[in-house]
Structure 1
């Protein structure tokens, strides 16, 4: 039997296998994660609502049910965290906004229901920036979330709390969402692994919502998970995609698609457009390419179509919708910091409005079609996520150049949201920079509905590079 003091180190795959087999109890697995949370969260401020009491009760109930012969779910006894912008019954969906601190959810969002139906146990709710619209996590309600690698790196956003928590050992899975990079930014910041699902893959709905989201928000935002080892996505995501009638546009497809014939061709690019590619990012891309080649993939250099155009048009369109639908709330309830950041967003991504906005929403199909044709030949594309190592905390508060580094350079991120394509993010190098150690992640884009192929590629890279949590834990103690 595993040493109880080390159970927090187990990933979701191993935790579920051991609890199902009876080697460890759900109570022990959950208790170890809670103890780890108690030990490291005071410094990190990743979990801003501690649910340890109800988590222990649920874990004991799972153990009792198993002992009585009830079947175990695929995530039996796996400790998880939920981001504070998604509904969990009886808890506030504050979205990092002081004015929403008492917005108590009347029911669970589909992803919370799906996690719990699979046997997972929620141990806490994690931090996000105001309105979940920064790539850095800080807000007036709960304060800053710190990166477990050190304060020289932002924890990322908007799922900064989830990314920091899972890498520090607070739960094996962290829920998050992504409208422009909010699963992948914190994964890159903390050295975690994620796959941003494609449009319609994971059902989404908040019972507390007072109105439907804008059409672009519906088309670009997805729910997902952040993990510290790639294999955990294969054990967890099939439960996340279970259908829910509250999301009428959910696409009920199996997690695994048909096997592809022959070696899978991977398009490889280091293109970062007008942004300079940092040598450490270049080395990470080379390491990922070599890992995929050694694993049997056919890797060829490519020139991806219309990436920059899709990213810029997509984000300017999103800013048009945000200005119209969220702008009044940001002005009424946002801090001076978030208002200044949005002012710079609007300057650098001039919002499309009126007829032009409608035209750009229509043009989304043009970009998505070009990429669908491209991905027929190259089912996967290995590319940068950011052109430089992850930025320091509050970089996006430092005027035009700060926002340009944080968001302007992230073309490979939000272009995928606009086109609704799956995109995984996986660490491929640990750089020793002057400021301190820093993980460097790369991105793997996949054909529509083929998140499984992206995760397989992440596993091949991780098998070569190793899990980034191991050197992190050596440093944290």
Structure 2
């Protein structure tokens, strides 16, 4: 047994204790809902409180447990769902006031997968307008705060998810990522995540009126944000259950074959035209040393040009957004989000139709380059951003702010354009805030990425525990 409060426990430990009969799902969910209601008033991470329904569901699961055992590997584990994904009977506003009355007719596949594994949804988390900013604020729900301090961004667009999980509102938070929306919030708050590769997790919203653009289909993925790497692994094994409504999903087992060791890791500190902050260099060096200590063979290399891949991917996505999404943004978006998109288009000029087709054809060239690198080095340790955590509204402060936050995120959105999985873990601190690095891996080998993240976490510790140590006793 432990004196640690229930709401601080990992999903893995909660699952073990529930399965052993040491604690009930109702006790777990009740304690977590109490924590959510105690701290969410300030953080504003959860914008749809489902605590009462969650406690009732936990009682039902306890009854089932007494008769036939756990319903799945996440039996009784509290989770949150990001508000841009359908959950039956709840609104899917995507951070937009005008969409507040869009009520989901059914659960999205990712919600089904988690709940059928026994997870219990305690609330829905905040996202910026149209889920297209590197911070989380909107006119519908307001700003989500970073649990480390009020100055810093909670990241975006899954900022509600990261703030919730790091402050103890459940050990697992659903999120998604089209250009960094799982990884920006995890880097901002010290959480851990892996952006799955294309085809790994199912994506579809039953409330949608039209299919998404092809680049959105290729670049956007569903995933989870957690406090501990082992919980990402636990939740992902359930999240990847096959759903035929996603034509891109491939039913591949989560755990791939063991590779002969020592595993070779490619390592780079290249941040291209953006100067790397000393804290980033330190975090990269520390992460490298952690991997070496864990038995990896780390080799500094020159990777295929991420600046070209990242800029190309962002300009291609901007072209698709301009063609397919801007009418909604102009009609329903705030003055602020419209101004931000105008800056996006100036900084990342959308490809015109002919050039867009040529660049999308060239995408396979970039993937081939990276596949060849990953064939030799199954893991690549890279920067994520060239500087530590940014202020909460920096991306709304003109073109300089956007470049400081998103424009420099070449290592982030390049991985979406390639469809390659990439994880985040913090390996250093700067000014009292976590500093993150990125770990890239082969497609369908998120398990190898998690192994590497775990090697760093084992030596540097779980960042959330530093937050919890500041709690009054």
**Higher mean Cα deviation, 107-116 or 231-240?**
231-240
TM-score, structure 1 normalization: 0.98
State the match for 2:361 in structure 1: 362
State the match for 2:470 in structure 1: 475
Q: Deviations over 1:115-152 (max 9, x none)?
A: 00100000000000000000000000000000000112
Deviation at residue 173 of structure 1 after TM alignment: 0.3
- Give the Cα separation in 2 of the matches to 1:391 and 1:12: 29
- Give the Cα separation in 1 of the matches to 2:315 and 2:149: 33
Deviation at residue 72 of structure 1 after TM alignment: 3.4
Contact kept, 8 Å, 1:158 with 1:183, in 2: the verdict is yes
Q: Deviations over 1:39-67 (max 9, x none)?
A: 11001000000000110011001100000
**Higher mean Cα deviation, 347-356 or 411-420?**
347-356
State the match for 1:415 in structure 2: 414
Contact kept, 8 Å, 1:20 with 1:72, in 2: the verdict is no
- Give the Cα separation in 2 of the matches to 1:348 and 1:476: 42
RMSD of the TM alignment (CA)? 0.9
Contact kept, 8 Å, 2:70 with 2:118, in 1: the verdict is no
SS of residue matched to 2:271? coil
- Give the Cα separation in 1 of the matches to 2:183 and 2:286: 19
Contact kept, 8 Å, 1:89 with 1:108, in 2: the verdict is yes
State the match for 1:345 in structure 2: 344
State the match for 2:309 in structure 1: 310
Contact kept, 8 Å, 1:148 with 1:476, in 2: the verdict is no
State the match for 1:269 in structure 2: 268
State the match for 1:16 in structure 2: 15
- Give the Cα separation in 1 of the matches to 2:15 and 2:222: 22
- Give the Cα separation in 1 of the matches to 2:449 and 2:170: 23
Q: Deviations over 1:384-429 (max 9, x none)?
A: 1000001001101111110000111000000000000000001111
Q: Deviations over 1:144-163 (max 9, x none)?
A: 00000011210000000000
Deviation at residue 2 of structure 1 after TM alignment: 4.5
Contact kept, 8 Å, 1:267 with 1:299, in 2: the verdict is yes
Contact kept, 8 Å, 2:15 with 2:76, in 1: the verdict is yes
Deviation at residue 353 of structure 1 after TM alignment: 2.0
State the match for 1:451 in structure 2: 446
SS of residue matched to 2:327? helix
SS of residue matched to 2:424? strand
Contact kept, 8 Å, 1:157 with 1:185, in 2: the verdict is yes
Structure 2: runs of 5+ lacking an equivalent: none
SS of residue matched to 2:157? coil
- Give the Cα separation in 2 of the matches to 1:331 and 1:189: 29
State the match for 1:290 in structure 2: 289
SS of residue matched to 1:443? strand
Structure 1: runs of 5+ lacking an equivalent: none
- Give the Cα separation in 1 of the matches to 2:230 and 2:262: 21
State the match for 2:250 in structure 1: 251
State the match for 1:400 in structure 2: 399
Contact kept, 8 Å, 1:2 with 1:24, in 2: the verdict is no
Deviation at residue 71 of structure 1 after TM alignment: 3.9
State the match for 2:112 in structure 1: 113
Structure 1 residue 439 corresponds to structure 2 residue 434: yes
Deviation at residue 235 of structure 1 after TM alignment: 1.2
TM-score, structure 2 normalization: 0.99
Structure 1 residue 213 corresponds to structure 2 residue 212: yes
State the match for 2:382 in structure 1: 383
SS of residue matched to 2:153? coil
- Give the Cα separation in 2 of the matches to 1:400 and 1:100: 28
Structure 1 residue 462 corresponds to structure 2 residue 470: no
- Give the Cα separation in 2 of the matches to 1:184 and 1:176: 10
Contact kept, 8 Å, 1:83 with 1:125, in 2: the verdict is yes
Contact kept, 8 Å, 2:71 with 2:116, in 1: the verdict is no
Q: Deviations over 1:75-99 (max 9, x none)?
A: 1110000000000000000000000
Structure 1 residue 139 corresponds to structure 2 residue 138: yes
Structure 1 residue 94 corresponds to structure 2 residue 89: no
Contact kept, 8 Å, 1:180 with 1:220, in 2: the verdict is yes
Q: Deviations over 1:242-285 (max 9, x none)?
A: 00111122110000111111211111111000001001111111
Residues paired across the two proteins, number? 472
- Give the Cα separation in 2 of the matches to 1:97 and 1:52: 23
Contact kept, 8 Å, 2:265 with 2:296, in 1: the verdict is yes
State the match for 1:332 in structure 2: 331
SS of residue matched to 1:68? helix
Deviation at residue 362 of structure 1 after TM alignment: 1.0
Deviation at residue 476 of structure 1 after TM alignment: 4.1
**1:197 to 1:231, Cα distance in 2 relative to 1, 3 A:** same
- Give the Cα separation in 1 of the matches to 2:135 and 2:116: 31
Deviation at residue 70 of structure 1 after TM alignment: 3.9
- Give the Cα separation in 2 of the matches to 1:419 and 1:215: 13
- Give the Cα separation in 2 of the matches to 1:429 and 1:129: 28
- Give the Cα separation in 2 of the matches to 1:439 and 1:306: 27
- Give the Cα separation in 1 of the matches to 2:471 and 2:323: 44
Structure 1 residue 200 corresponds to structure 2 residue 199: yes
Q: Deviations over 1:347-393 (max 9, x none)?
A: 11000121111111111111001000011111100011000001001
